[in-house]
Each structure stands twice: as C-alpha cells, then as structure tokens.
Amino acid sequence: MIVIKFGGTSVGDAQRVANAIDIVAERREQQPIVVVSALSGVTNDLVAASEAARACDADRVNQIIAAVRQRHEDVAMRLVQQKFDFFESFIKQLDKQIDQIHTILSGIALLGEITPRAKDKVVAIGEKLSSVLFAYSMMMRALPGEHVDSEEVVITDARFGEASPLMEDTREAAHRVLLPLIERNRVPVMGGFIGRTRDGATTTLGRGGSDYSAAIIGAAVGAEEIQIWTDVDGMMTCDPRHILTARIIERISYVEAAELAWFGAKVLHPRTIAPAVAQKIAVRVLNTHNISSPGTLITEEGDTNAPAGPRAVAVKRNITVVHMTSNKMLGAHGFLARLFAIFEEFEVSVDLITTSEVSVSVTIDEDNPQLLEKLKTVADVQVIRNQCIVAIVGRNLMQDSIVGARVFEAMRGIPTSMFSLGTSGLNLSIVVDDKDADRSVRAVHAALFEAPVGAAS
C-alpha cells in the first residue's frame, strides 16, 4: 500500500486533475490510497467568506461562494461531462455543500463572531468537494476510485483549527473502512486536512495540513510509502520560488526534513514527518508537473553518503522575540523555571532560546498579550515583533567551523538579534528583522551552497 497526496496546485484545474489521475493509474499495483487538497486557492476563499460573514458583508459572501461553486462546476464539466449521471450527482453534492456553507455563514453573520468550530466546518468543504470530484473523475476513466469521507477515518481531538489525530481510533477506523476497499482492488480517495472528533464535530489539522493527513493515514494502514505530490521537484536547498539557484535534495533524514518543515519549508506541513517516523515509513516528495524527476526520499537514515554539513536553508517569518531579564539580578535560581511555567500555562511553545546569567531570549510564533503580561510579573520584558528565523539545517553542522565562518561572513552588515546552534548540530538559527529576511537567506544560501568548496574566507 502507498498513500498518494496531491496538493492544491496539483488539482487546480481539470487538466491537472487528469494528470494526477494518470499518476494514480500508473501506480495501481502498489494499492494506492489517494489524499487530495482543496483546489488551489479554495481554502483561502472559504476563510475570506467566513471573515466577510463576520463583517455582515452579505454581497461579498455571496460573491465568493458563487465563484467557488462555479469553479467546481467548471472543472466537473470538463472532467465528467460525457457521462451525464456522474455530472448530475456531483452537482447535487456540490449544491448540498454550498447550501451548508450558506447556513453556517448566516449563523456567523447573525452572531458577528466566528468560532474555531464553525470556521472548521466551512473550510473543510474545500477538501470535501475536491475529493468527491477526484473520485468521480476516476470513475469516468473506468478506474475504481471510491470516495471515502475523511471524517469517517481521521479521528482527532477537539482543538479546532489545529487538531491532532487520536491514532488508536484512527487506526481502527482506517482498518475498518479502507482495508476492505483495498482488498477489493478499489482506490480510496479522501480529502486531506480534515477529521472529526469522537463526538462528531468536523475539525481541521492546520493550514497546509493535507500532507499531515497523508502521513496519518499512511501510518494508520502501515503503508510502505507516503508520496507528497506537489509543484516543485522535491525538498530543495531553499524555497525555489525565492532562490532560483536552489538545488534538489535527493535524500534526507526524517530529523532534517522535520526541522526544515518546522522552520518554514512549506513544501511539507511541519507535522508530516512524525507519523511516518513511528513506523519508519518512507516519505517521497515528487513533482506533478515533472513526473520524471526522482524527487526527494525522506527516510530514517537519510543520505548516508552525504558528508556532515548544511543541507538547506529555511525561513520562518512573522515571529516575536521575547527578551526577559531577571529583576533580581545575578544568581537568581528558579528564574527559568518560573518563566517556563508561564509558557506552559499559556500552552505557548518556544522555538529558539538563548541565555545569559540574568536574561533569557526566546522566539514565539504568536503574539500573546496575556502571556506577556504574566511574564512581566517575574521579569523585565522586552518584546521585538516582526522578526524571522533563518534556519540552516544539516548534520553535525559545526563539525567543520567553516560553516559558522561562512554564515557569519555572509551575514556581515545585517543586524541580528539572536543566534542559536542546536545541541544536536542539526540547526543553526539566526533571528533577523522580517524586512531583512530575503537578503539574509540569499546571502546564507550563496555562501553555503553556491560558493566553491574551500572558498569561505
């Protein structure tokens, strides 16, 4: 069994859906389970419609939802046109979902408030529609695609907007629902990104979460491989959209890939790797627009031939630095414990940390005014917003100090507020102002991946 996941751009229009179906058809003997994202841009549209509903802007709501509906109808028309009954039944399902969106959006408008629970119900509809469309399109081509409602399989906690799977329940459901289909040579087609709580409420796994769904489903059925089909050739030394000289990474370890994803390499949702690691399932990142490219293979051991050193640079934007100084000055034991108890209380996780005897600086993703207020009860607190983390990820990064030398040299003239070298040698991170993000990444990438060997100083 393998899981094949297609991102939004890979199912963005009728031609792309047709190409994606070719990819599935070629892998029939491997017993695929297909996971699809919403058509590209649809989740953003649904988020925008929720915001418009909260603002009681009925015209804008109607305009966005009508466009979403039309887009699905157009794609369906091109893909399932000849067989009238498939088309009719897709349109029936489409209209049912659209009615449901309108009902929830009216509720949001009435209350003037979006609860995370209502928002999940609305945004989940993108994947519900794309997966039904994909399954019908497969049937049109006489391929045994069978739509499976992800909510029947991916069972999660109730953290709406950022839910986590309950793996035991999910494994049981996946075995019960998916395995009999596979045994009958059917190809289950599911929406990514969505799940359901034990008591039946729709949840989502966080933006970009279809990768995570693929990994959860792969782990639940014990797949041999999880394939993430996207719009670039694989994981690269940097985001190829910003750095044209970015190079493909053929093999990389779970820990390196997870670290890159965590520090902003959008090609993988940050939580994708964890379910694969538990069962040592290989993850492959492949390009739907360039099928012959070998992509990136992510495994426990990674590239055993690669020397220690940097593998890639990522950037995590829009973070906040919190600088805390003990107001008791030197030697105040228990200071860190008190601070971190507060982070724990507010369930805020910290990415980077640097310390001196009397002060500690951390980075956090979200600005949390209550957290900051509480921290002020035990420390003098300085907050620096609009920062970003430039993360250099690799193996035994500082085995050769030339890496550090090159990075420091590349960053000359760019103000930095934190440096942090992970004890594992996996990550060297630098915090800079958001406005310096691009030039920092360019400089570091050029120094580490474009400079001739031995040309550091």
Of 192, 195, 218, 302, which one interacts with ligand ASP (CB under 6 A)? Answer: 192
Looking at the Cβ atoms of 7 and 126, the one nearer to Mg ion is 7
Residues 200-229 that bind ligand ADP (CB under 6 A): 208
- Tell me how far apart the alpha carbons of residues 22 and 145 are, in angstroms, rounded to a whole number: 12
Coil/strand/helix, residue 457:
coil
Looking at the Cβ atoms of 165 and 208, the one nearer to ligand ASP is 208
- Tell me how far apart the alpha carbons of residues 244 and 68 are, in angstroms, rounded to a whole number: 33
Helices and strands: H and E segment counts in the chain: 14, 17
Told to check if 9 binds ligand ASP by CB under 6 A, we report no
DSSP 130: H
User: By CB under 6 A, which span of 5-13, 50-58, 276-284, 439-447 interacts with ligand ADP?
Assistant: 5-13
Residue 198 CA, distance from chain mean position: 24
- Cα–Cα nearest to 280, from 209, 219, 220, 227: 219
> Contact letters (x/-) for ligand ADP, 309-348, by CB under 6 A?
---x------------------------------------
Told to check if 363 binds ligand ADP by CB under 6 A, we report no
* Burial degree of 432 (CB within 10 A; 0-12, 13-18, 19+): buried
For the chain, first and last CA: distance in Å? 50
Contact of residue 45 among ligand ASP, Mg ion, ligand ADP, none (CB under 5-8 Å per partner type): none
Residues 5-24 that bind Mg ion (CB under 5 A): 7
> Contact letters (x/-) for ligand ADP, 223-262, by CB under 6 A?
-------xxx--xx-xxxx---------------------
Q: Which amino acid is at 326?
A: S
In the complex, minimum distance from the CB of residue 65 to ligand ASP, in angstroms, rounded to a whole number? 16
Residues 117-176 that bind ligand ASP (CB under 6 A): 126
DSSP 372: H
In the complex, minimum distance from the CB of residue 149 to ligand ASP, in angstroms, rounded to a whole number? 16
User: CA 391 → CA 97, 219, 427, 428, distances in Å?
Assistant: 42, 28, 6, 6
Looking at the Cβ atoms of 72 and 271, the one nearer to Mg ion is 271
Contact of residue 60 among ligand ADP, Mg ion, ligand ASP, none (CB under 5-8 Å per partner type): none
Told to check if 270 binds Mg ion by CB under 5 A, we report no
User: By CB under 6 A, which span of 58-66, 206-214, 291-299, 420-428 interacts with ligand ASP?
Assistant: 206-214
Looking at the Cβ atoms of 122 and 252, the one nearer to ligand ADP is 252
In the complex, minimum distance from the CB of residue 208 to ligand ADP, in angstroms, rounded to a whole number? 5
Told to check if 11 binds ligand ADP by CB under 6 A, we report no
User: CA 39 → CA 71, 87, 92, 118, 221, distances in Å?
Assistant: 9, 18, 19, 21, 26
> Contact letters (x/-) for Mg ion, 203-222, by CB under 5 A?
-----x--------------
Contact of residue 241 among ligand ADP, ligand ASP, Mg ion, none (CB under 5-8 Å per partner type): ligand ADP
Coil/strand/helix, residue 157:
coil
Told to check if 43 binds ligand ASP by CB under 6 A, we report yes
- Tell me how far apart the alpha carbons of residues 270 and 351 are, in angstroms, rounded to a whole number: 13
> What is the chain's percent helix, strand, coil content, to nearest 5?
45, 25, 30
Residues 170-209 that bind Mg ion (CB under 5 A): 208
> Contact letters (x/-) for ligand ASP, 210-229, by CB under 6 A?
x-------------------
- Tell me how far apart the alpha carbons of residues 144 and 146 are, in angstroms, rounded to a whole number: 6
Residues 6+ apart with CB under 8 A from 54: 108, 109, 112, 113, 114
Looking at the Cβ atoms of 126 and 208, the one nearer to Mg ion is 208
In the complex, minimum distance from the CB of residue 168 to ligand ASP, in angstroms, rounded to a whole number? 24
Contact of residue 129 among ligand ASP, Mg ion, ligand ADP, none (CB under 5-8 Å per partner type): none
Told to check if 38 binds ligand ASP by CB under 6 A, we report yes
User: By CB under 6 A, which span of 3-11, 28-36, 128-136, 413-421 interacts with ligand ADP?
Assistant: 3-11
User: Phi, psi (5° rounding) for residue 13?
Assistant: -150, 180
Told to check if 117 binds ligand ADP by CB under 6 A, we report no
SS (H, E, C) 275-331: HHHHHCCEEEEEECCCCCCCCEEEECCCCCCCCCEEEEEEEEEEEEEEEEEECCCCC
Q: Which residues of 294-332 are buried (b: 16+ CB within 10 A; e: fewer)?
A: ebbbbbeebbeebeebbbbbbbbeebbbbbbbbeeeeee
Q: Interface residues with ligand ASP (CB under 6 A)?
A: 7-8, 37-38, 43, 126, 192-193, 207-210
Q: Interface residues with ligand ADP (CB under 6 A)?
A: 7-10, 37, 208, 230-232, 235-236, 238-241, 265-267, 312
Q: Interface residues with Mg ion (CB under 5 A)?
A: 7, 208
